[in-house]
Amino acid sequence: MLRLIACIPLIAFAITASAQNDCNLTVSGQVVDEHDGSVLSYADIVILGTNLGTISNELGYYSIGGLCAGKLIIACSHVGCEPIYDTIEVSQNIVHNFYPEHHAELLNAVRIDEKKTPIRSAVEMETIEYQERQKGKSLGESLSSISGVNTLNTGASISKPMIHGLHSNRLLVLNNGVRQEGQQWGNEHAPEIDPFIADELTVIKGASSVRYGSDAIAQVVLVSPKAMTDSFGIGGAFDLVGQTNGRGGISALMFEGSHKQIEAFRWRVQGSIKKLGNQQAPDYFLKNTGLEEWNFSAATSFSDQKKGVELYYSQFNTNLGIFSASHIGNLTDLQRAFQANEPLESSGFNYEIKTPYQHVTHELIKASGFLATGEKGKFQVTYAHQYNLREEFDKHSVDQSVPALSFEITTHSADALWEYRHGIGSKLKIGASTMAQGNTFSGRFFIPNFKKWSTGFFAIEQWKMSNRWTLEAGARWEYVNQLVFIRKGAEVNQFQHAYHQPTGSIGILKSFRSDWQWRTNLATAWRPPNVNELYSNGLHHGAATFEIGDTSLVREVSYSWNSELSFKRKRVEAQVEIYVNYMDHFINLQPVFPATLTIRGAFPSYQFVQVNALLYGVDSKIAFDILPRLKSHFQNFNSTS
C-alpha cells in the first residue's frame, strides 16, 4: 500500500474557536482504513484555520496539542483517500479517530465547499481565487484586491501589477509554473496572460520566492490554472460577461474530462474571446480605445500518485487600441494636449481599432513530469517554450499593415526540483533552472537584438519547529550572460554582459492562538540591467520620450526587511505590513536637460541612471463580511522613497 504523504491542499472553511484563554487541550487518535482496518501512517492531520497539525506515526496514531477550547474543524488526508473534515467540540482532551476510505477513485462523490479559504503558510502569503466577481477584469486588476498589490494602468486596457512600488522586470509572474518571459521593459506592456486561465492568484512573499529566480525584488505572483478534474466524465463551464463602458464583453468556454477506462488520463480545453469598443468618459468617447483579445489553452495529464506527465499549451492574442489623442508628437503637442478641455481628437462610438495600436501574441508550450522518490520525496522536471511577439503600429505610417517596430522573443527554459517532506509543514526543496533566450527586432530601433542565458541553483528549507513557529530559509546562486548584437553597416558588433551573484532569504512565521499570525522576513535579491536599460537610444513613441541607455550600468541589488501581522476570523480579516527595501544601484529613468532636439521638435529626455535608494512603507487592509454575500474592503498603501 502507498505510504506517501498526501500533497492534497486542504481547503475548507474554518469555524474559529471562541475566545477562551484555555489553550492547552489535546486531540489524539488513530487513522484506520475503513475497508481493511489497516492502520494508515503518514496521514496529514490539520486543524483548519490554524497552523496546528501533525502526521500519523507508523501505527497510525496522532496527537495535536495547544488547542483552545471551542468548536474546531479537523481534517485528515491520506494518499488515495478523499480528505475527511470533522467538526469537533473541544472542552477537554479528546480522542478522535479517522476512518478514511482508501479508494477515492472508486467514488464519484462531489464535495462542495461552502467557501475555500486556503491554509496559510509562510510560503504562500496571500491567495485570491478568481471568483465570479473578478471575471471580466484584467489580471492586474484582479491582483489589486490583495493587500500590498497596486496596479499600474496605462490607458483603458493596459494594467500591470505593482508591489511596494516595484513592477515590470522586478516582479516575477509565473504562469502555470513557468516564468513569464515577454517584453516587460515598458510601463505600457501588460502581462500576456488570459485572465480566464487563472483560477488562483498567489503572491509569494517569503523565502520560497528564490525558487523562481534571483530577481524577485518585488515578490512573485503565481497565476495557477484550475487543478485537473478528479471526477470521471466530461464537465464544462461557459461564462458570458457584459460591460457597459466599451459596449462589449467576454465569452469563455471550458471543457474537461477524465474517463473510467483510463483512470490516469485527464484533459482540459479552454478558450476566451473579448471585444470592447471605444471607452466613454462622461462627456465624450475616447477615440481608438477599443480592445480585442482571443486566447485558448489545452492541457492533458497522465498521472497517478507516484508519477505523472503533463502537457500544456496556451496562446494569448490581443489588439489594443491606443487612445489617439494621447499619441502626441513632441513637447508642443504635449502642452496643447494638457491645456485642452477635451481631447483634441474625438470620435463617436465604434469597435474599430485603428493606428496607433499594439498587437501582442504569447505562446507557451510546457511539458512536465514528476516521480515520487521514496515515501517522502518527489522529483519534478519542467520544460517550457515561450514565444512572444509585440508589434507596435504607429499613427502615421505609409503602410499601415507593417508595424513600425516589432519584437520577437523566444525562450526555452528547463527546471528540476526535488522536494522532501520531513514532517508536517516541513520540507526541503533543492533545484536548478536554466534558460536560453533570443530577441530580435525589426523596424525602428529601440532595443537591439540579444541572446541571454541564465543558470541558477537553489535550496529552500521550510521547517516547522513547533506548532507555533515556522522557520524558512532559501538561497540561490545565479549566472546570467547576455550577448547584444548591433549592426553598423555591413559589420555586426557584439557586446557581452555577464553577471553572477547569490540571493538569500530568511523568515519566521509565528501563529498565536488560532487566528493571529506574525511573519518577518529578511531577503536579498538582484537583477542584471535589462537590455533596454543598457542600449535603448531613441524615441519611445508610446510615451513620447527620448530614452537613453547606459552600457556601464551594473547589477542592482535589493536588501529588504518586511514584517506582517495578520488576523483572520470568520467575518473579519485584517492585515498590516511594514517594509523597508534598500536598493543598491537602483536603476531608474531620470529626466535630463535640455530636451532632445529632433526634427520632430523637442522631446523630454530621460536617461537610465543608478542611485542608492531606500523604499519603505506600510500596507494595511481590513475586510468585513457584512452579510454572508456582501464584503467590505479597505486598503491603504503608504510608501515613500
Binding site for other proteins (CB under 8 A): 261-262, 264-265, 267, 298, 300, 302, 309, 311, 313, 315, 327-330, 332-333, 336, 344-345, 361, 363, 365, 387, 389, 394-398, 404, 408-410, 438-445, 448-451, 483, 485-487, 492, 494, 537-539, 546, 548, 596-603
| C-beta closer to other proteins: residue 324 or 470 | 324
Whether 65 and 22 have beta carbons less than 8 Å apart is answered as no
Nearest partner of 139 among 212, 190, 176, 178, judged by Cα: 190
Up-side HSE of residue 546: CA atoms within 13 Å toward CB?
17
Q: What is the DSSP string of 371-428?
A: EEETTTEEEEEEEEEEEEEEEEE-SS-SSTTS-SEEEEEEEEEEEEEEEEEEETTEEE
Q: In the complex, what is the shortest distance from the CB of residue 537 to other proteins, in angstroms, rounded to a whole number?
A: 6
3-state SS, 263-283, equals EEEEEEEEEEEEEECCCECCC
Name residue 436's beta-bridge partners. Answer: 412, 453
Residues recorded for the chain: 641
Q: Are 463 and 426 in contact (CB under 8 A)?
A: yes
DSSP line for 189-236: ------TTT-SEEEEE-SGGGGGT-TT-TT-EEEEEPPPPP-SSEEEE
In terms of C-beta density within 10 A (0-12 exposed, 13-18 middle, 19 or more buried), how is residue 337 classed?
A: middle
- Provide, rounded to whole angstroms, the least separation between the CB of residue 369 and other proteins: 12
- Closer CB to other proteins, residue 219 or residue 288? 288
Least CB distance from residue 311 to other proteins, whole Å? 6
Q: How far is the CB of 492 from other proteins (least distance, A)?
A: 6
Q: Angle at Cα 200 formed by Cα 198 and Cα 201, nearest 5°?
A: 90
Phi, psi (degrees; rounded to nearest 5) at 367: -125, 130
Counting beta carbons within 10 angstroms of the beta carbon of residue 182, is it exposed (0 to 12), middle (13 to 18) or buried (19 or more)? buried
Q: By C-beta, is 354 or 513 nearer to other proteins?
A: 354
Q: Which is nearer to other proteins, 357 or 579 (CB)?
A: 357
Report, in Å, the least distance between residue 345 CB and other proteins: 6
Which residues touch 454 (CB under 8 Å, ≥6 apart)? 434, 435, 478, 479, 480, 481
**Residue 192 CB, nearest distance to other proteins (Å)?**
13
- Of 400 and 455, nearer to other proteins (C-beta) is 400
3-state DSSP assignment of residue 325: helix
CB of 302 to other proteins, least distance (A): 6
d(CA 317, CA 9): 33
Closer residue to other proteins in complex, CB, 423/538: 538
Nearest-angstrom CA–CA distance, 565 and 248 = 42
Q: Give 71 or 487: the residue with its C-beta nearer to other proteins.
A: 487
Nearest partner of 310 among 225, 249, 246, judged by Cα: 225
Which C-beta is closer to other proteins: that of 248 or that of 329?
329
Measured CA to CA in angstroms, residue 581 lies from 202, 263, 533, 635 at distances of 21, 50, 21, 21
How near is the Cβ of 483 to other proteins at its closest, in Å?
Answer: 8
Using the minimum distance from each CB to other proteins, give the nearer residue, 116 or 336: 336
Nearest residue (CB) to other proteins, 548 versus 622? 548
Q: State which residue, 37 or 594, has the beta carbon closest to other proteins.
A: 594
581 and 575 in contact (C-beta within 8 Å)? no
* Cβ-based nearer residue to other proteins, 547 or 577: 547
Minimum separation from the CB atom of position 390 to other proteins (A): 12
Cα distances from 60 to residues 42, 57, 107, in angstroms, run 7, 5, 23
431 vs 382: CA distance, rounded Å: 11
Q: For the CB of residue 177, give the shortest distance to other proteins in the complex, in Å.
A: 17
Q: Whole-number minimum distance, CB 296 to other proteins, in Å? A: 9
The residue among 69 and 299 lying less far from other proteins, judged by its C-beta, is: 299
Instruction: Report, in Å, the least distance between residue 480 CB and other proteins.
Output: 16
C-alpha distances (whole Å) from 493 to each of 159, 496, 499, 516 are: 36, 10, 20, 59
Distance in Å, CB of 382 to other proteins, minimum: 16
